[in-house]
Structure 1
Amino acid sequence: MAIAAVALPIVIALAVMAFAWPAGRISPRDVPVGIVGTGPASQHAVAALTRAKPGAFDFHLYADRQAARSAIENRDVYGALAISGHGVTVLKATAASPSVAQLLTDVGQQLADKATQQIAQQKAAGAHSPAEPRKHAAAPPGAAQQKAAARQGADGADSPAEILVKAVDVVPVATEDPRGAVFSSVVFPLTVCGILIGAFVTMARGLARPRHRVLTLLVACAVAGLGVYLVAQGFLGALPRNHVATWAILSLDLLSVSATAAGVIRLLGPAGLGLSAAVMVFVGNAFSGATSAPEMLPKGVDHIGQWLPPGAGASLLRDTTYFDGNSGAGHLAVLALWSVCGLTAVMCGHWVTGEARGAKSSATTSGELLPALPRSGGALPVRRHAHAHARRHDDDG
């Protein structure tokens, strides 16, 4: 009772912290962002962002907008900023991360506002320069107004009074899921469903042979992945492209979790179910970055999440659905590694547990001794099979 009263609150507190701490510390950390051009305006923008948000962005320079668009489509950067004297163009990819896309739009607006303020200050300083009164005094009537109008027209042609912001969504999210909420809602239940599949396959009495368990895992994950895809795309329209590949990734995501859970349960028994749930749900889901981006999570957490099936599966699903699999090779390798290790444990786990049971059984049948009888005098221990043989001999006699 005392252990449960102390241990359960600690476990619950840790579980809440695992989800709440990353969510409460969301902030850009080395987010890959492109900068178009190497002119003075681009250099000033990079310097200003570096001073305002140190360590927030990892800038990549591109010669033109087409190169920046290609980098976004290849998942090299989340977006790009094209800055000129007339405006700021934000190239973003809502499909990569709606939160990062909104962040880049806000950054572009901040740069535009700052540039507009600088232009206004320059014009105000030019209008109140001390040389103006002497020039006006020497000039004939009406000449000052003509010069002021000409200067205002020239300034308006070279530098507008307000720098405008234009946002271009290079890779937009599905129209039925404009905020990406359906996508994250689809990803999170996969972890719990995978653990349930692994627990059922391992504990089912009708699946005694390892190869039957492996086959059941493969079939169950494929069918479940198809069901998830039919709901997410057929009903909600959240996974609009690369249909077959998306279904395969959903199935592989389920397999990586379910095979790992089944293998751990096969090796550790019922305790493996709790261990699998703790690692996959309270660590994997919480550190996956599916609702924002891995680069928005605290340092270290982003790497942990991407090495676990929930984080790798969410990233690979996003890469496959919207970016034709670009930058998804590493995530695919992570899911395949977890799947292979889990299936190997399911296939070969009975050797470890079987040898232990066999050793215990052989020790019991051949070498276990009966306890001494509570009689007066010294009672010698008698082997179990010898005692049974003596009783049969006495009955026969």
Structure 2
Amino acid sequence: MESAESSGSPTGGQPAGPQVDKGAPKGGNTKKYVFMVVFPFVLVMMLVGIYAGSMHAPTPRDLPVAVTGTAEQAQPLADSLNATGGSPVEVRVVATADEARQLVHDREIAGALALPAQGSDDAVLYTAQAAGAAQVQMVQSVFQPVADAQQLTLEQQDIAPLPASDGMGVTTLFTAIGWMLAGYMLVTVLTSGAPELLPLRRLVPLLAGWSALVSALVWVIVGPLIGAIDGHVLPVLGLGWLSVFAVGLGQTLFARLLGPLAVVPGIALFMFLGVPASNIMMSIHSVPGFFGFLHHVLPLPAAGETLRSILYFGGDGVGPHLLVLAAWAVVGLALTAGVDLLRRRTSRGPDEAADTPSSSPAGSPDAQGALTSA
């Protein structure tokens, strides 16, 4: 009878019921709660600080422009503008108006002033609206006072106008932002919700398919549905795929190194810093110089500049930007594979090989059990 009562009690005679772990530290969730408060606070402060700090007072700094005309006209004007305090412009003298127009088209300069021939008062200002509406305004602010001071009539010629469907030229920026978010968010969601999909053998094909799907959907939205992009189907689809794939692999590396905290560097590099460095909403020559460096290394500027080149400049100059995106994909994949390999090696104990069935001695219990079961 006693044995029955004893066996009926799950604790061998002790009263059943929930057991309290008295050794558990009080306030064990404090770190979690602090993280829940600090994390969104940091993101908000980063967004406000980076955007407001970089774009609140745009002024030209070393804006590349050109002047063409006779030597007696052009060189003194270029020297005078280059001597302006604060270095708002960097002026070069070019030989002909055709050369000036080509430089503007190639986006080597933001604008060019063709001074009038002797006996004429008609000057021409060459700009490219598709290279940035804000940049065109800065060029005008530089050369309009010059024309007024010399009593010249300033004719403006836009050698790369924007289409009516994208009058402000922001479609490239918002499309590139969509690609960035697609690559970043997939890996972020998988990190917290489905970590079993994060090994590269599973993630790479998943990310490749996701990139193709998002690229197609984004093109459908900005193309057939909205009409902001006309034509260029295959280049836009290919660029979209590469952009999403590259950002996804970059975020995968951050996730391997930082876990859930990878959200912070991911959104900072792919979004918060990428927008001011994009040279689309604002000229790269009107934001702090650090963003000029970021313009050449971050994926958002690379994707935006490539898309703009495809849509409005016949694809000229896409090479360096495509290399940036490819580098993010290749380096992200290679370093992630390296991290995984290093962790597998360091996680192996020194006796792991001896624990495998093939290495068990013939008289060991494991070997005897295997023979008995056979």
TM range (shorter): 0.7 to 0.9
* Residue number among 268, 278, 289 corresponding to 2:279 in the alignment: 289
Question: Match for 1:107 among 142, 145, 150?
Answer: 142
Tell whether the 8 Å contact from 1:289 to 1:297 is kept in structure 2 after alignment. Answer: no
1:4-43 CA-to-partner distances (Å, cap 9, x unmatched) read: 5677645532331111111114221222212222433323
* 1:77 corresponds to: 109
Equivalent residue, structure 1, for 2:121: 86
- Could you list the per-position Cα deviations for residues 174-220 of structure 1 after superposition, in whole angstroms to 9, with x for gaps in the alignment? 22111123332223333222211223455636646523311121221
In the TM superposition, residue 165 of structure 1 has moved relative to its aligned partner by 1.4
AA of the residue aligned to 1:194: G
CA contact (8 A) 1:263 1:344 kept: no
Aligned to 1:215: 205
Indicate whether 1:57 and 2:89 are aligned: yes
Which residues of 2 match residues 6-155 of structure 1 at below 5 A?
9=41, 12-52=44-84, 54-84=86-116, 85-116=120-151
1:350 to 332, 337, 340: 340
Q: CA offsets per residue over residues 152-182 of structure 1, 9 Å max, x none? A: xxxxxxxxxxx21111110112221111233
Measured after TM superposition, the shift of residue 268 of structure 1 is: 3.5
Deviations 1:225-266 (A, max 9, x none): 222122223333333464322322222222221111123213
TM-score, with structure 1 as normaliser: 0.71
Hey, what does 1:266 align to over in structure 2? 256
Counterpart of 2:107, as a letter, is R
Name the larger-Rg structure: 1
Greater relative contact order (CA < 8 Å, ≥ 6 in sequence): 1
Q: CA RMSD in A?
A: 3.1
Q: 1:236 to 1:164 in 2, by over 3 A?
A: farther
Does residue 328 in structure 1 map to residue 318 in structure 2? yes
Alignment of 1:216-255 (within 5 A): 216-240=206-230, 242-255=232-245
Give the direction of change, closer, same or farther, for the CA distance of 1:359–1:174 in structure 2 (3 Å limit): farther
Distance 2:70 2:201 in 1: 60
Secondary structure of the structure 1 residue equivalent to 2:212:
helix
2:14 paired residue number = none
TM-score, length of structure 2 as denominator length: 0.75
Q: What is the one-letter code of the residue matched to 1:112?
A: A
Aligned to 1:310: 300
Contact preservation (8 Å) 1:241, 1:322 = no
- Is the Cα–Cα contact under 8 Å of residues 88 and 108 in structure 1 kept in the other structure? no
Unaligned runs of 5+ in 1: 117-162, 367-388, 390-397
C-alpha distance in 2, partners of 1:66/1:39? 17
- Once residues 75 and 180 of structure 2 are traced to their aligned partners in structure 1, the CA distance between those partners, rounded to angstroms, is 45
Stretch moving more, 288-297 or 342-351 = 342-351
Percent identity (aligned): 23
Shift of 1:92: 0.6
Is the Cα–Cα contact under 8 Å of residues 174 and 237 in structure 1 kept in the other structure? Answer: no
Q: Secondary structure at the match of 2:130?
A: coil
Other-structure match for 1:189: 178
Point out where structure 2 has 5 or more consecutive residues left out of the alignment: 1-29, 357-365, 367-374
Contact residue 207 and residue 213 of structure 1 kept, 8 A: yes
SS of residue matched to 1:223: helix
The separation in 2 between residues aligned to 1:174 and 1:23, in whole angstroms, is 26
Please report how far the alpha carbon of residue 353 of structure 1 lies from its aligned counterpart in structure 2 after TM superposition.
3.2
Q: For the residues of structure 1 that align with 2:66 and 2:229, how far apart are their CA atoms?
A: 27
Gap change, CA 1:11 and 1:73, over 3 Å in 2: closer
Which digits, 9 at most, give the CA deviation of each residue in 1:82-115, with x for residues without a partner? 1114122111101111111122233332222111
Amino acid at match of 2:312: Y
CA shift, 1:316, in A, is: 2.1
Work out the CA distance in 1 between the residues paired with 2:351 and 2:46. 41
Q: Report if the CA contact (8 A) 2:274-2:295 is conserved.
A: yes
Contact 2:82-2:91 within 8 A present in 1 as well: no
Residue identity in the other structure for 1:168: Q
Matches within 5 A, 1:356-375: 356-359=346-349
Aligned amino acid, residue 186 of structure 1: T
User: 1:158: which partner in 2?
Assistant: none
Aligned partners of 2:254, 2:350: CA distance in 1, in Å?
22
